[in-house]
A and B are shown apart, each in its own frame.
Chain A
Amino acid sequence: MTRRPVDMGDPDRLYTVTGGRSRTDDDMFDLVTLIVSECGPSPGMQSEHIRILELCRHPTAVVEVSAELKLPITVVRILLGDLLATGRITARHPGRARSLIDLPDSALLEEVLHGLRNL
């Protein structure tokens, strides 16, 4: 059976982008994990990796990378995994663990309120 990374309009392209991989460790990258490049692109790199490194010269959330590259979140997580494994990016994870019962504390929420009131 041929497994494709994602079943959507143009699967062949996405298959190529991810080198045929379809899964990654979801816990590694939340939608709002902030990605920061630790180096510039080098010759011969895959174009998507180059774009991510350029985009993330300033902290950029995973979801923004996805929107700018016009690639589904799943695919972006795989690409980010490559760059993280080779030390080309670092990830700043959300303050909270991805657990359903781990609710935010009042101190964090007070900071959020303060920020919103100053809008």
Chain B
Amino acid sequence: MDSATSELPGRTPLVDSAETGLKIVIVGGFGVGKTTLVKSVSEIRPLNTEEVMTQAGVGVDDPAGLTTKTTTTVAFDFGRISLNDRMVLYLFGAPGQERFWFLWDRLFAGTLGAVVLVDTRRMSDSWYAIDRLEHHNTPFVVAVNRFDSDPASFSLDEIRQALSLPAHVPLVECDARVRSSGKHVLISLVNHLHELAMGREMTP
């Protein structure tokens, strides 16, 4: 074993009083800026890891036959925000493609909520993610990452229509590169979650 590994240069540990980990997931198509958003608000350099699973015996309904064993690998980035001495929020940037959703419950059950990051040049990439989040009853907001080169510059109303997004789902604009903008997206999500929680708590 390399003795240098015990030093872990550049790693910033959590404070010893940290006790509660929380999750928020940022979903979006390839190149939409998920990692950029994670990086802009994270207190650590984004890290990458993966989960691997074989589909056989995982409860996946496969009419093609039970002997087929397929492997699903999902790689994702994550960053971290220490909210206070006890609570630490982990932000996961996750791909929106189909195979990812096999692992949603295994990885992201118990997530506070999700951000769907949208590139207006490829809005169809977001349809599947929105559909799946609704299916999993995961509350979410949609954030439009405004790229400099976005020529069409659709209005938020046009985007809402194109995504068939219900009126109760918040839709915000952001520049994923800018920390204050990324922070605004997260606050929009948590505000939305808070409203939902208040609604539930008011109902006897």
Tell whether, in the assembled complex, residue B84 and residue A73 are in contact, meaning their CB atoms are under 8 Å apart.
no
Residues 54-75 of A contacting B (Cβ, < 8 Å) = 54-55, 57-61, 63-64, 66-68, 70, 72-74
In the complex, whether B22 has a CB less than 8 A from a CB of chain A is yes
In the complex, whether B64 has a CB less than 8 A from a CB of chain A is no
In the complex, whether B71 has a CB less than 8 A from a CB of chain A is yes
A105 with B197: in contact, given A96-B110, A116-B81 (CB under 8 Å)?
yes
Where chain B touches its partner, the secondary structure class is: mixed
Please tell me which stretch of B149-157, B170-178, B188-196 contacts chain A, meaning at least 4 of its Cβ atoms lie within 8 angstroms of it. B188-196
**Total interface residues on A, using CB and 8 Å?**
52
**Total interface residues on B, using CB and 8 Å?**
61
Choose one: A54, A60, A100, A110; the contact of B194 (CB below 8 Å). Answer: A110
In the complex, whether B201 has a CB less than 8 A from a CB of chain A is yes
Q: Mark A86-119, 1 if CB is under 8 A from B, else 0.
A: 0000001011111111111110011111111101
Tell whether, in the assembled complex, residue A119 and residue B200 are in contact, meaning their CB atoms are under 8 Å apart.
no
Report the separation of the CA atoms of residues A7 and B108 in the bound assembly, to the nearest whole angstrom.
Answer: 22
In the complex, whether A18 has a CB less than 8 A from a CB of chain B is no
Choose one: A70, A92, A98; the contact of B20 (CB below 8 Å). Answer: A92
When C-beta atoms are compared, the residue in chain A nearest to B18 turns out to be A59
Report the separation of the CA atoms of residues A97 and B111 in the bound assembly, to the nearest whole angstrom.
Answer: 10
Report the separation of the CA atoms of residues A111 and B85 in the bound assembly, to the nearest whole angstrom.
Answer: 11
Which residues does chain A contribute within 8 Å of B201, judged by CB atoms? 105-106
In the complex, whether B5 has a CB less than 8 A from a CB of chain A is yes
In the complex, whether B87 has a CB less than 8 A from a CB of chain A is yes
Report the minimum CB–CB distance from A10 to chain B (whole Å). 11
Please tell me which stretch of B31-39, B44-52, B123-131, B160-168 contacts chain A, meaning at least 4 of its Cβ atoms lie within 8 angstroms of it. B44-52
When C-beta atoms are compared, the residue in chain B nearest to A3 turns out to be B54
Q: A8-B71, A34-B88, A74-B51 are in contact. List 19 more A-B contacts (CB 8 A).
A: A8-B52, A26-B106, A32-B90, A51-B6, A54-B6, A58-B14, A63-B47, A63-B78, A72-B50, A94-B21, A95-B22, A95-B87, A98-B110, A100-B109, A100-B136, A102-B110, A105-B197, A116-B83, A119-B41
